[in-house]
Chains A and B, each alone.
Chain A
Amino acid sequence: MLPDGVRRFFRFGRARDVEREVDAEFAFHLEARTEALIAAGLSADAAHAEALRQFGDMGVAREDVIRTDCGEVANRSRRDWLGAWLLDTRYALRSLARTPGLTAAVLVMLGLGIGGAAAMYGLLDRLLLSVGPGIEAPGELRQLWVREHHRWEHATVFDRSFSVPQLRAIERDLPSGFPLGFVAHWADRLDGRTGPRIPIALVSGNVFEVLGTTPAIGRLLRSSDDTPSSTPATVISYALWHRKYSGDPAVIGQLLQLGKARYTIVGVAPRGFADLHPDRVDAWVPEAIGGDAHVGRGWQDMLHGFEAVVRMPDDAVALEIAARAQNAYRQAIAPRGDSTARAVFASLLPYQRPDGLGERTRLSLVVAAVAAILCIIAVANATNLLLLRATGRRREIAIRMALGSGRVRLVRAVILESLMLALGGALAAGVVASWGGELLRKLIVREDWQSAILDGRVVIFAAILGLVIGLVTGLVPGLAASGPEAIAALRTGSRSDVRPSRLRGGLLVMQATLTVLLLAGLGLYGRSFLRARAMDFGVASQHLINVNVEADRGDSMAQPGRLAAATAELAERMRRLPGVVGVAQTSITPIYGYGGAYLRAEGVDSLPMDQSGPFVSEIDTAFLGVTGLTLMRGRAFVTADIAPLAPVALVNEAMAKALWPGGEALGKCLRVGSRGEPSADVCRQVVGVVSNYRNQLDETAPMKNYYLPLGYRWQAGGNSLVLRTSGAAAPLLPAVLATLRERLPDSEPDAVTAIGEIVNRQIDPWRSGTTLFALFAMLAVLLAAGGLYSSAAYSVAQRAHEFGIRVAVGAAAKDLVRLVLVTSLRPIAIGLLLGLALTLYLVRFLEPLLYATAPRDPVVLSGAALTLLAAACVACIVPARAAARTDPRVALQAD
């Protein structure tokens, strides 16, 4: 808004012009009329008097006309001003369209750079920085963690998963006014057996109250819903409400079948609400009701997946609460008082986890760094291109200034151009952000989230960033080109600037540095991926299918003998399937699972069980051949061995070595089962030693396994079949499931699993890391090559005159090519060296994420350097050849 005085001044100035014009017009009229009257024969005086008479009241007419004109002038100048802007806008669009390649390149770069950064920000925000929507004052919420020694993993670890009895015990001891809310994630079938499996959450009745959530409609669960005798009530997610009920408010009071339980829908959670984690949840049910229905009998002791939160408005009470919780927890897990567990209440924010960052978070931090690098490269390139463009337009701008265009008008034209580019860039950024966000979630998180990565804030962030960057990158070069020294461009012609600009050179160096970094990252990840994929698991994992043969409790099939018979029959049917080359029966399929039993071994005092075993599996005679395990020593099971209490066993090499180091395992006695069980008395002699297999990609020690003939557990109902396929396992899955359902119609789809899938899932972090790095590195190479090309091409065009002189005085084509290559590749070479140095320093952060790959692998580093050099040479070839073709006559005549 202009100050009032200024505006009055302008109005006054305009009015004065109008008056002057009106007076001039009237004066002309009177003179013309007077002359006409004189010509008609009147005297000069009489003619003048008559002219005035005919004119009427001059004062009134003058006032009238001036008033009209002032209004008109105001209108017209507004029209002119708008018209000029429109004209300039059209001009800007035209001038952008004149260089479509450059305009597109700038838009793509801004879009990729900013959109990528925004998508990354959205992902990190969810993973690290924020608690999901629908939670009141999340800063006051504290999550319960316990730090204790974990015998299974031989390590002291932080844990935040508890069972309901533990949490109830802790809650009892907390001071009043600090209710503990808790939630465990589970899954069950929507609409009973036939529907899809959806993620649900078992919650304490008070959890919504603790989180301070307000329902979208209806009400949320309360403590009175969470007793075994309450009417089953559920709160569904906003997404499910829209998916299944089209957002109809009449959903309240309807019944929802989840697995075996039927709930009344009492309310809908707010949009995007997903309790403590971003993972998708479709329905919340009270644990007292849902535990039995979804998890099964004995869930209270079995399900240790509950996470607990408490609201602490100030930290003063935190220590006391933690002390009480710690006491209660120690009491609950070890009544004898030998627990050293420490309880900690930590912020709910993911980045404040007391146990540090998870794998996917670390991966996403790496990717975030990569995206930031790419963003910088892209924006640097856009700036570079705009700098080139502005320099190229110096002459045009100088001509326009010389023709009398005001600097304001010129600057306005430049602003408009940048604004157009910025708007386009912001738009492109929005598109890239929303598309890239989903891609990143799929590649890094691989889990369904309650809401999209992008919320309005991220989109606005991307758009604003796009605008600002677009404006700045457009304005700086534009203003420089229209500065007072611009006229000088006219005098010296287009040959003025043969020195490569220091800024442009710096940008190229930076790009080369970052590109090398990304290429090295790609190399390291790619190598890890290849190594992981090539890892031999010791069994034919890619050709194995696991089939769970299970019957529901209470089903007549569940009687031990009948299920065993059904399993044998199914094995026969499966064997006849085309593509299946072998079928074995077993209690546990390798890689698919593991199981333990009380075990005493001859000559071994104590046998602690940890994550590397010993694990037991019951097998038939076909098992070794089907899975691909090899017999190292002794003999395998024969048909006569297959009996419940057969006195034979097999051990794998790891077990043989661990239990009887230096000795011979063959002939030693294993007793399996708790004392008192009949099987515990049987001496099972080790008759053979078989090869190890790998359960996990990053196993520290090989797993100890032993095998018994089918029978001991076999009757209890945990039966499996292992199928060996001749080709890929995945295409056979439907046929296998269909065969299984012929006999056991209630079998769920996940009863049939390709073991290769489990293995591949373990390789996934490296696969997606490689994909991400490949994507980003490819973009970086393209960007850098494009930047180099445009810079080299431009400088060749600029130096045409100089080249012409060189050719005229005898330079050969190859000299010019060398000249162009040397000048263009110098910044790349500098960047390359810087990039290698930076890589050598930065790989330490990547090291924990690599698999069997040295972080300073010379092959990878030199590969990265060579790739960049090759791309740079390709980018320079066209400009260099253009230089070589310089015709001195043309070059010297130009301009």
Chain B
Amino acid sequence: MADELELLRGTLDMLLLKALIWGPRHGYAVTAWIHETTNEELKVDDGALYGALHRLQARGWIEAEWGLSENNRKAKYYSLTAEGRRQLRSQAVSWDRYARAVARVMGTT
């Protein structure tokens, strides 16, 4: 795992929020979505993802509720709160700006 990208916590948070934008998902679905959309490039432990999810919940950006999964098992579903949506919007904007800046710097060398 040493060669994996060391993720800034804010980036991970943004990804997690983004994962919930289409509606409530349980923890497994969130991790699966992140692995899928990053083509496994983003090597993050599932455990770490859970830690991040719970921190987001503590911050009030997402909320959790027990529900039934697709195959009728009890699962904890996470969904965005209004505050979470606001955070996602503002973080996406600043991330975009940051990424463009980095790309410019890298492009000039």
> For the complex, is A29 an interface residue (Cβ under 8 Å from B)?
yes
Contact call B51/A54, Cβ cutoff below 8 A: no
Stretch from A61-69, A231-239, A673-681 forming part of the interface with B: A61-69
Q: Mark A27-67, 1 if CB is under 8 A from B, else 0.
A: 01101110010000000000000000011111011101100
Number of interface residues of B (CB under 8 A): 20
Main secondary structure of the interface of B (DSSP, over half): helix
- Name A55's closest neighbour in chain B (CB-CB): B46
Report A742-775 residues with CB < 8 Å from chain B CB: none
Contact call A26/B75, Cβ cutoff below 8 A: no
Contact call B75/A28, Cβ cutoff below 8 A: yes
Contact call B74/A29, Cβ cutoff below 8 A: no
**Distance A805 CA – B52 CA, assembled complex (angstroms):** 70
CB of A60, distance to nearest CB on chain B (Å): 7
CB of A842, distance to nearest CB on chain B (Å): 67
> For the complex, is A72 an interface residue (Cβ under 8 Å from B)?
yes
**Distance A317 CA – B45 CA, assembled complex (angstroms):** 95
Contact call A61/B73, Cβ cutoff below 8 A: no
- Name B73's closest neighbour in chain A (CB-CB): A28
Q: Given A24-B74, A25-B27, A31-B73, are A72 and B54 neighbors across the interface (CB < 8 Å)?
A: yes
> For the complex, is B91 an interface residue (Cβ under 8 Å from A)?
no
Chain A positions within 8 Å of B58 at CB level? 68-69, 71-72, 75
> For the complex, is B98 an interface residue (Cβ under 8 Å from A)?
no
Contact call B27/A64, Cβ cutoff below 8 A: no
Chain A interface residues toward B at CB < 8 A: 21, 24-26, 28-29, 31-33, 36, 54-58, 60-62, 64-65, 68-69, 71-72, 75
Closest A-B pairs by Cβ, 4 of them: A56-B45, A61-B47, A72-B58, A32-B28
Q: Given A68-B58, A71-B58, A72-B58, are A29 and B51 neighbors across the interface (CB < 8 Å)?
A: no
Report B25-46 residues with CB < 8 Å from chain A CB: 26-28, 31-32, 45-46
Q: Which of B31, B48, B54, B57 contacts A29 (CB 8 A)?
A: B31
Chain B positions within 8 Å of A72 at CB level? 54, 57-58
Chain A positions within 8 Å of B46 at CB level? 29, 33, 54-56, 61
Q: Given A25-B27, A32-B69, A72-B58, are A56 and B74 neighbors across the interface (CB < 8 Å)?
A: no
Chain B positions within 8 Å of A57 at CB level? 45, 47
Chain A positions within 8 Å of B69 at CB level? 28, 32
**Distance A56 CA – B46 CA, assembled complex (angstroms):** 7
Chain B positions within 8 Å of A64 at CB level? 47, 51, 54
Q: Which of A24, A29, A54, A68 contacts B55 (CB 8 A)?
A: A68
Chain B interface residues toward A at CB < 8 A: 26-28, 31-32, 45-48, 50-51, 54-55, 57-58, 69, 73-76
Q: Which of A28, A58, A61, A62 contacts B28 (CB 8 A)?
A: A28
Chain B positions within 8 Å of A31 at CB level? 73
Contact call A29/B45, Cβ cutoff below 8 A: no
A-B contact count (CB 8 A): 70
**Distance A853 CA – B97 CA, assembled complex (angstroms):** 97
Main secondary structure of the interface of A (DSSP, over half): helix
Contact call A25/B76, Cβ cutoff below 8 A: yes
Contact call A29/B73, Cβ cutoff below 8 A: no
**Distance A26 CA – B27 CA, assembled complex (angstroms):** 9
Q: Which of B51, B74, B75 contacts A61 (CB 8 A)?
A: B51
**Distance A140 CA – B54 CA, assembled complex (angstroms):** 72
Q: Which of B32, B48, B58, B74 has the most CB of A within 10 A?
A: B58
**Given A24-B74, A55-B46, A56-B47, 18 further pairs, Cβ under 8 A:** A25-B76, A28-B26, A28-B27, A28-B28, A28-B69, A28-B74, A32-B28, A33-B31, A55-B45, A56-B46, A56-B48, A61-B48, A61-B50, A64-B47, A64-B51, A65-B51, A68-B58, A69-B54
Contact call A26/B50, Cβ cutoff below 8 A: yes
Q: Which of A29, A32, A36, A75 contacts B50 (CB 8 A)?
A: A29
- Name B55's closest neighbour in chain A (CB-CB): A68
**Distance A36 CA – B36 CA, assembled complex (angstroms):** 13
Q: Given A33-B28, A69-B58, A75-B58, are A25 and B50 neighbors across the interface (CB < 8 Å)?
A: yes
Contact call B45/A61, Cβ cutoff below 8 A: yes
CB of B41, distance to nearest CB on chain A (Å): 15
- Name A31's closest neighbour in chain B (CB-CB): B73
Contact call A65/B76, Cβ cutoff below 8 A: no
**Distance A210 CA – B76 CA, assembled complex (angstroms):** 82
Chain B positions within 8 Å of A21 at CB level? 76
**Distance A36 CA – B29 CA, assembled complex (angstroms):** 11
Q: Given A28-B73, A29-B46, A32-B69, are A68 and B51 neighbors across the interface (CB < 8 Å)?
A: yes
CB of A217, distance to nearest CB on chain B (Å): 56
- Name B28's closest neighbour in chain A (CB-CB): A32
Q: Given A65-B54, A69-B54, A72-B57, are A58 and B74 neighbors across the interface (CB < 8 Å)?
A: no
Chain B positions within 8 Å of A33 at CB level? 28, 31-32, 46
CB of B13, distance to nearest CB on chain A (Å): 13
CB of A51, distance to nearest CB on chain B (Å): 8
Chain B positions within 8 Å of A36 at CB level? 32
